[in-house]
Amino acid sequence: MTDVPAHTAVTEHQQHPISLYLLVWGLLFVLSACSYLVDYVGLQGYLRWSLILIFMMLKAGLIVAVFMHMAWERLALIYAILLPPLLVLVFVALMVSESHYVLFSRLTFFGAAP
Amino acid sequence: MSAPTHSPVTEPLPRPSGLVGFAADWASDQRTFKNVSWGKAMMWIFLLSDTFIFGCFLVAYMSARMSTAVPWPNPSEVFALHIGGSDVPLILIAIMTFVLISSSGTMAMAVNYGYRRDRRKTAALMLLTALFGATFVGMQAFEWTKLISEGVRPWGNPWGAAQFGSTFFMITGFHGTHVTIGVIFLLIIARKVWRGDFETGKRGFFTSRKGQYEIVEITGLYWHFVDLVWVFIFAFFYLW
């Protein structure tokens, strides 16, 4: 019997035109230049932070989606890899609260020592 | 009682797509990642674990910076270079960013030529990627030398909060180590591609198994991840 064993993966090779990679390469250059300009121009405050985060997420998205071919994978892999890192945000929230408390203790009880 | 008869199946049934496909792939008693080889899946899972390592480093940096009562040194001034009579802020870091992005571009093209079985172009592009990576590490070594000569130490620096030095050396040091390992990884695989190991079926020195051009894509995944981590370090450590 010529059954294909059920455990054999049908591996698909990603084949996309080179021009797509060149386009993303160019976009990453532009986005990097933009994020550098944020510092060069000297923007401050919420405008600076939001621009940094926007350019960062756009660059990360382009790298993961196109260069790492995540855009063409099945949802089973996409969710397995991209959802767990979101839990780091919970950790961030915990540590923001903790940092505020540490700073409060330092200012209140140690007279602003490091 | 007769045994159940199997109809001869010559090709796997098409899998559903979207959320239904996600649920079907993760359902029990089967392999989850349908069209991804074990090598690629394991590299992705390793990269997921590495994400948590760098995530912890960046969270540690955030906590140190948020909880110190001493002003944080201004990265824009600390990493400025004196060029042509004036200080250009962050210029070396910007060049390092462009170098690393270029290396990602050449790596993506190397993967493409690998699947076309174009040995020469694949090996040449991988060597170019490794060269960009080595350039990046070289510039990082220059940056470390400059900062150390200016008095930055893990326990203090001339400009402000002592935690600046420790987080800087830990985060960029770990990232630089990743780049260095990536360069070595690239050189090993580029040599195999150049020699034609994946055409002749030569067995690897470590695993004693025959390789495939897919290893170029797996190397590429690691390399793009190193670039990805730099995107976050650049945003949070240098620009914030």
Question: Is residue B234 a part of any domain in this protein?
Answer: yes
Q: State whether A52 and B105 contact (CB < 8 Å).
A: no
Residue A91 CB coordination number (10 Å): 14
Rounded to whole angstroms, how far apart are CA atoms B126 and B128? 5
Rounded to whole angstroms, how far apart are CA atoms B134 and B136? 5
Ordered DSSP codes for B140-175:
HHHHHHHHHHTT-BTTB-SSS-THHHHHHHHHHHHH
Question: Is residue B9 a part of any domain in this protein?
Answer: no
Look up the domain containing B52 and give its range. 36-239
Per DSSP, helices labelled H in B196-213 are: 197-200
Question: Is residue B173 a part of any domain in this protein?
Answer: yes
- What pLDDT digit, counting tens, does each position of B103-140 carry? 999 999 999 999 999 999 999 999 999 999 999 999 99
Helix (H) or strand (E) holding A28: helix A18-41
Q: Please, are residues B106 and B56 in contact by the beta-carbon 8 Å criterion?
A: no
Give this complex's ipTM: 0.87
Rounded to whole angstroms, how far apart are CA atoms B96 and B231? 11
Question: Is residue B232 a part of any domain in this protein?
Answer: yes
Average pLDDT, rounded, for chain B = 90
Measure in Å the smallest separation between the Cα of B38 and chain A Cα atoms. 9
Question: Is residue B45 a part of any domain in this protein?
Answer: yes
More confident residue, A75 or B15: A75
Q: State whether A74 and B35 contact (CB < 8 Å).
A: yes
Q: What integer pLDDT is reported at residue B142 of this predicted model? A: 94
Q: State whether A98 and B10 contact (CB < 8 Å).
A: no
- The closest alpha carbon to B157, from B69, B78, B64, B66, belongs to B78
Q: What integer pLDDT is reported at residue B193 of this predicted model? A: 93
Measure in Å the smallest separation between the Cα of B13 and chain A Cα atoms. 11
What pLDDT band is residue A2 in, cutting at 50, 70 and 90?
A: very low
Question: Is residue B188 a part of any domain in this protein?
Answer: yes
Mean pLDDT of B215-224: 94
Model confidence, pTM: 0.89
Question: Is residue B29 a part of any domain in this protein?
Answer: no
Q: State whether A68 and B105 contact (CB < 8 Å).
A: no
Question: Is residue B78 a part of any domain in this protein?
Answer: yes
Q: State whether A76 and B22 contact (CB < 8 Å).
A: yes
Measure in Å the smallest separation between the Cα of B173 and chain A Cα atoms. 21
Q: How far apart are the first and last CA of chain A?
A: 74
**Structural domain tally of chain B?**
1
Mean pLDDT of A42-52: 90
Considering only the beta carbons, identify the residue of B68, B101, B234 that sits closest to A114: B68
* pLDDT over 90 at B145, yes or no: yes
Rounded to whole angstroms, how far apart are CA atoms A52 and B163? 22
CATH of the domain at B47: 1.20.120.80
What pLDDT band is residue A3 in, cutting at 50, 70 and 90?
A: very low
B5-19, B51-65, B75-89: which has the minimum mean pLDDT? Answer: B5-19
Mean pLDDT of B195-211: 86
